[in-house]
Amino acid sequence: MTRAAPSAGPGRGRPEPEPLPLTGYSVGLTNDRRAAEYVTAFERRGAEVVHAPTIQTGTGDDAAVLAETRALIAARPDIVLASTGYGMRRWLELADAEGLLEDLLEVLAASRLLVRGPKARGAVRAVGLEDAGSGEQETMTALVDRVLQQDVRGRVVGIQHAGYLDAEATDRLRAAGAQVLAVSPYRWQHHPDSAAVLRLVEGACARALDAVTFTSAPAVEAFFAVAAGQRLLDDLLGALREDVVTACVGPVTAAPLHEAGLTPLVPVRYRTGALIKLLSDHLAGTRVVRASTEVGHVELRGRRVSVAGAHATLTPGQAGLLRLLLDAEGRTLSQAQLGGALPQTLDPHAVEVAVSRMRRALPVPGLVRTVAKRGYRVPVL
């Protein structure tokens, strides 16, 4: 788990610097590959990062990959679909170690080579090959759509799969009359540290996370599987629908979330930088509450609250309580209203205790007022 350093208080005699865009927010990361890049990018924006990979890239069965390679070389496919840059590089490296690279490159050069996206294109061009294009979107579905614009009956199509066998793509091509040869240079596997994944699930259920990011569909499915194994899937889906933002690198990754009834953020450009910027802009643009009050200007950004220039970091429950009171715009909320609006319903006594603890955590006194026999309010101007 990686945590950002706590914010310093306002300096004396100099203007207070603007907070970083994700100061006060907690983001869960589920990816294994390029994890350090994601962690660094979010921390540079001020986020607290909780990292728990749900899957890892397995090397798979090298003997099986080489057998698939020999079959593809012998069949001399008319069309080859390259799915991922990592998969293409590993495939070519295995072929090279086995003395098959020259034959494989000759076959690929003679085929109509289509790529799913720029990473696969980069791997293809790195060995001196040129592709014939890609689909309208960076998905295998779009790539198969392009292939099926022409008659493929009797033609041989090779597919380099992306960590798992894409049965839909294979079935569509076979149904159109093509002979399909699959090559799977690597496989996704559940990450062995399931305890870390469970902590991430529990953090989302408790609304201790503001967002969770995914970079592959298997990562989503593994996340849900751990939750289901602990009978937390319903709680998790409720949190993801209501309070915890989900963000995916592209539509293929987002598919399992859509199937679960969620609406994840998906950047127009399916890139790491675009995903991070989209999520940063969304949280900073929609999850900030500001108000002018009798004790000064208040800004609640995730769990970081600023009151008249003084700062504090609240617990998720305290931040939820304060957000409810700020959203009320000066109106008094009863203990029942507050307790019923929180993710975990609280009885009146528990609300009283929670408000008392929140008051002690705030950077200045007097922000949350008690209205006798009625409840609590923030004195908004």
From first to last of its 381 residues, the chain has per-residue pLDDT tens of: 333 333 444 433 344 567 788 889 999 999 887 888 889 999 999 999 999 999 887 766 789 999 999 999 999 999 999 988 888 998 999 999 999 999 999 999 999 999 988 888 999 999 999 999 998 877 788 899 999 999 999 999 999 987 766 778 889 999 999 999 999 888 778 888 999 999 999 999 988 899 999 988 888 988 998 999 899 999 999 999 988 999 998 887 888 899 899 999 999 876 778 888 999 899 988 888 899 999 999 999 888 999 988 999 898 888 889 989 999 999 999 999 988 877 777 888 998 999 999 999 999 999 999 999 899 999 998
Q: SS3 for 244?
A: coil
Nearest CA-CA partner of 220 in 56, 54, 86: 54
296 and 362 assigned to the same domain: yes
Q: Does residue 117 sit in the same domain as residue 215? A: no
Residue 5 domain-assigned (yes or no): no
Are residue 46 and residue 88 in the same domain, yes or no? no
Q: What are phi and psi of 171, to 5 degrees?
A: -65, -40
- Total domains in the fold of the chain: 3
- Quick one: 64 and 167 in the same domain? yes
Among 239, 262, 286, the domain boundary falls at: 286
**Distance from C-alpha of 40 to C-alpha of 47, rounded to nearest angstrom:** 10
Q: Which tokens in the block code for residue 157?
A: 């199509």
Q: pTM of the full predicted structure? A: 0.70
State which amino acid sits at residue 23. Answer: T
Provide the residue range defining the domain that includes 163. 60-185
Verify that 117 and 218 share a domain, yes or no: no
Answer whether residue 19 is part of any domain: no
d(CA 32, CA 219): 9
Q: Is residue 176 part of a domain?
A: yes
Backbone angles phi, psi at 57, to 5 degrees: -80, 115
Q: What is the CATH number of the domain that holds 330?
A: 1.10.10.10
What are the C-alpha distances in Å from 206 to residues 210, 349, 356? 10, 20, 20
Q: Are strands 304-307 and 296-301 parallel, antiparallel or unpaired?
A: antiparallel
